[in-house]
Amino acid sequence: MIRSDVHKGAVLGACLAAAATAGCVQVNAPDEPIEINLNVNIRQEVVVRLQDDARELIEQNEEIF
């Protein structure tokens, strides 16, 4: 990850120089860290409320449960 602007400039300069001879892929990392949100939107009050229905669902479909 390239943080300093001077360094970035140096890399950019190097890229431009290399552009004539070969392709140049410039990768810029975002300024903030990448956040991976693993929170699945499950409402606890809903899950609790569904317990009776879930129990009934299991009893009525024993083959698959």
- Chain centroid to Cα 6, Å, comes to 29
Q: Could you tell me the smallest distance in angstroms from the CB atom of residue 8 to other proteins?
A: 39
Using rule CB under 8 A, residue 43 touches other proteins: yes
- HSE (CB half, 13 Å, CA atoms) of 7? 5
Using rule CB under 8 A, residue 58 touches other proteins: yes
Distance CA 60, CA 56 (A): 6
Nearer to other proteins, 3 or 65 (CB): 65
Nearer to other proteins, 32 or 65 (CB): 65
